[in-house]
Structure 1
Amino acid sequence: MTDDGLERHGDDSYDATSRIVDPGGDADERRVEAALRPRRLAEFPGQPRVSDQLALVLEAARRRGAPPDHVLLSGPPGLGKTSLAMIIAAELEQPIRITSGPAIQHAGDLAAILSSLAEGEVLFLDEIHRMARPAEEMLYLAMEDFRVDVVVGKGPGATAIPLELPPFTVVGATTRAGLLPAPLRDRFGFTGHLDYYTAEDLSAILTRNADLLGVDATRQGIDEIAGRSRGTPRIANRLLRRVRDYAQVHGKGVVDHAAARAALELFDVDARGLDRLDRGVLEALCKRFGGGPVGLSTLAVAVGEEPDTVETVAEPYLVREGYMIRTPRGRAAAPGAWEHLGLTPPDGPGTSATPLPFDEGEGRFAL
């Protein structure tokens, strides 16, 4: 059994159907998770393009009476890829099996999962780009021909036994679609890319979630949280719970504008949604390295984090919001970084005051 009471299989996957069919329960965490996850496409906020496309794919499959094409969902963390996978299973009225790429390190791990799937079942592979190569090659055949070859024995005496599989649907999720090999990517009949949410969409999500959680909130308080949530529902929901805690302990139990501002300042989330790591990166760029460019590894050491953490957690938002520039020589502070920190940018080539010129003809930055 998992921590939230779900049945775990021997292959380390687990059946999440109970999350959709019967999300009730006494545990507070399970209640919160069930309340915050939409259960149908009509309830899924934001991402209208992906929702409309996915609705068409699922409705056509229902009318044919056959499983839909395999679905690949890509985009930054926290935008609803797991929720959409569960929604797909709910819309198809089929069970869902959940596992992840890092958990499948051998072809045998994947064969054990595939051989236990029922007809029409949905297999959700989170972080699919991190699956081991032998398992990827087995998945090619399973997705296209619904068959796997189980190798028995070793060496010259090894025998491949073909195993027929019932039709099923793979839903893959990835934060780095570019790392997927082309043969695997091409086997997905539908690819949906999830983008960051607008503040208006996040306000709608938070309003709904506050009602479901029984949180008394004002419009001003909701808007304040939405504006600091970096366009990400997962962050918005987390901040809503922290502001609720603050309002219950230090306020009047109401998530209003004053409670939201005070709570978010306490948790080091500023008015633009930057947290401790984000500001640490910008301060290192501007104060220690004069605006850069500076290599990623050096920047990571300066803030006491791993390079992967800086690159995958802080950098996407900083680049998107115009605080950081990625150049061939490293990371550099954009004018917005100096302004946000209240600093004056230095003059000189290669600094954020004079960004490296981009040669359109050559398609690269001039060095």
Structure 2
Amino acid sequence: MIDPADPSMAIVRPTPESDAELAFEGALRPKSLAEFVGQAKVRAQLQLLLQAATLQNRTPDHILLAGPPGLGKTTLAMIVAEESGRPLRMSSGPAIQHAGDLAAVLSSLVPGEILFIDEIHRMARPAEEMLYLAMEDFRIDIMVGKGAGATSIPLDLAPFTLVGATTRSGLLPNPLRDRFGFTAHLEFYAESELEQVLVRAAALLDLPIDRSALAEIAGRCRGTPRIANRLLRRVRDYALVYGGGAGLGAVHGALDLYDVDELGLDRLDREVMTTILTRFDGGPVGLSTLAVSVGEEAETVESVVEPFLVRIGLLTRTPRGRVATRLAWKHFGLQSAAPGTVSLGLDIDGL
């Protein structure tokens, strides 16, 4: 029981400043497809799907949004609800670990509601199997009793639209993936598109900033709007604390302070690459050995670090392990091992 007299148990209430920061976070998200920057093909496809559903006075088909983190999957789910004029219910795959959890959510939906499940591939298997029938027939079967006396009671659901988001669509079972009427694959942003994102964010921040400074940030944010907005706020903080305005000097100062180099590599990216280059002579080195060497979980290295390093051409994945490319040796200013040298990284522990 909480003792109100205990100072350590005092409830921290939001301040006007924290409310303003939360309001800014919400303002950064576009409210319509017209405001959404980038993903032109996906926007056109969603626009058609939503307009057709409105003309036919029905709920839109179920939508699966697939792609790396930070590209706008949650924002697009909010836009689907906004443009179709329907309420939005938000949940996440890790929060749905039992069929009963999903049944409670589905049975409380109102007609036409949009149900957004983030990281849908992380749902428990019993919940996934319940979702099959719910998506197709708007019905679920509730098991009552145990053993030989158990019976199944059908429960009709209000028509709804499921919007699922996943960063690893390959982990979704085929029966679930096939029940989505539309699957959108989000791509990394071009630098010109990221500049548009930053121009809008700078206006919301009321931050005067040079176009050249925005271009510099856009080139270092890994093709991801979420990272672009985060770096812009760090540049704002740097300009506020040190003065001199938000020009190229502030960008270089802030990004150097936060260990973001000209390719967008952060501390962990560089640690992984320098470990492969210096300790394993450029590889090949297996995932588990690499993870132990940098002191990180293997899943973190594989799902967070590697995709970007492979995409920009610093790293390749081979059957024998990870191998640094010539571009990596050049970027880090190191000399590769002499031909014929036995690599210390010849570690075959699989991918």
Q: Is the 8 A contact 1:293 1:351 kept in 2?
A: no
**For each residue in 1:188-220, what CA deviation from the matched residue of structure 2 results, as whole angstroms up to 9, or x when unmatched?**
000000010011100000000110121121111
1:99 counterpart SS class:
strand
Q: Please, what is the CA RMSD of the aligned residues?
A: 1.6
Q: Does 1:276 align with 2:263?
A: no
**For each residue in 1:292-350, what CA deviation from the matched residue of structure 2 results, as whole angstroms up to 9, or x when unmatched?**
00000111111111111111111000000000010001101011111110011124479
Residues in 2 aligned to 1:138 and 1:215: alpha-carbon distance in whole angstroms: 49
**For each residue in 1:147-187, what CA deviation from the matched residue of structure 2 results, as whole angstroms up to 9, or x when unmatched?**
00111111111121111011100000000000000000000
Runs of 4+ in 1 over 2 A off after TM superposition: 347-352
Residues in 1 aligned to 2:185 and 2:290: alpha-carbon distance in whole angstroms: 30
Residue 337 of structure 1 is matched in structure 2 by 328
Residues in 2 aligned to 1:350 and 1:208: alpha-carbon distance in whole angstroms: 52
Count of aligned residue pairs for this structure pair: 328
1:261 to 237, 249, 252: 252
Residues in 2 aligned to 1:34 and 1:116: alpha-carbon distance in whole angstroms: 26
Residues in 2 aligned to 1:260 and 1:25: alpha-carbon distance in whole angstroms: 25
- State the shift of 1:146 in Å: 0.1
TM-score normalised according to structure 2 size: 0.91
Q: Percent identity over the alignment?
A: 63
Q: Does 1:134 align with 2:144?
A: no
Q: Is the 8 A contact 1:292 1:350 kept in 2?
A: no
- State the shift of 1:26 in Å: 7.0
1:186 to 165, 178, 187: 178
Residues in 1 aligned to 2:57 and 2:340: alpha-carbon distance in whole angstroms: 63
- State the shift of 1:351 in Å: 9.2
Residue 139 of structure 2 is matched in structure 1 by 147
Could you say if the C-alpha distance between residues 272 and 130 of structure 1 is closer, same or farther in structure 2, counting changes exceeding 3 Å?
Answer: same
Residues in 2 aligned to 1:351 and 1:261: alpha-carbon distance in whole angstroms: 40
TM-score normalised according to structure 1 size: 0.87
**For each residue in 1:207-234, what CA deviation from the matched residue of structure 2 results, as whole angstroms up to 9, or x when unmatched?**
0011012112111111111110000001
Q: Does 1:163 align with 2:155?
A: yes
Could you say if the C-alpha distance between residues 289 and 42 of structure 1 is closer, same or farther in structure 2, counting changes exceeding 3 Å?
Answer: same
Q: Is the 8 A contact 1:148 1:163 kept in 2?
A: yes
Q: Is the 8 A contact 1:75 1:176 kept in 2?
A: yes
- State the shift of 1:28 in Å: 2.4
Query: Where does 1:218-297 land on structure 2 (aligned, <5 Å)?
Result: 218-252=210-244, 254-297=245-288
Letter in 2 for 1:55: Q
Q: Which range moved further: 235-244 or 212-221?
A: 212-221
Residues in 1 aligned to 2:101 and 2:225: alpha-carbon distance in whole angstroms: 32
Residues in 2 aligned to 1:213 and 1:143: alpha-carbon distance in whole angstroms: 41
Residues in 1 aligned to 2:17 and 2:289: alpha-carbon distance in whole angstroms: 48
Letter in 2 for 1:333: A
Q: Is the 8 A contact 1:333 1:351 kept in 2?
A: no
Residues in 2 aligned to 1:85 and 1:52: alpha-carbon distance in whole angstroms: 15
1:27 counterpart SS class:
helix
Residues in 2 aligned to 1:228 and 1:58: alpha-carbon distance in whole angstroms: 35
2:94 counterpart SS class:
helix
1:319 to 305, 310, 314: 310
Residue 13 of structure 2 is matched in structure 1 by none
- State the shift of 1:265 in Å: 0.3
Letter in 2 for 1:279: R
Residue 166 of structure 2 is matched in structure 1 by 174
Letter in 2 for 1:60: A
Letter in 2 for 1:235: I
Q: Is the 8 A contact 1:291 1:351 kept in 2?
A: no
- State the shift of 1:91 in Å: 0.5
Structure 2 residue ranges without an equivalent (≥5) = 1-15, 344-351
Residues in 2 aligned to 1:173 and 1:350: alpha-carbon distance in whole angstroms: 46
Q: Is the 8 A contact 1:318 1:324 kept in 2?
A: yes
Residue 84 of structure 1 is matched in structure 2 by 76
1:52 to 24, 44, 53: 44
Q: Is the 8 A contact 1:25 1:31 kept in 2?
A: no
Q: Is the 8 A contact 1:73 1:172 kept in 2?
A: yes
Residue 21 of structure 1 is matched in structure 2 by none
Residues in 1 aligned to 2:136 and 2:268: alpha-carbon distance in whole angstroms: 43
Residue 304 of structure 1 is matched in structure 2 by 295
2:197 to 187, 193, 205: 205
- State the shift of 1:269 in Å: 0.1
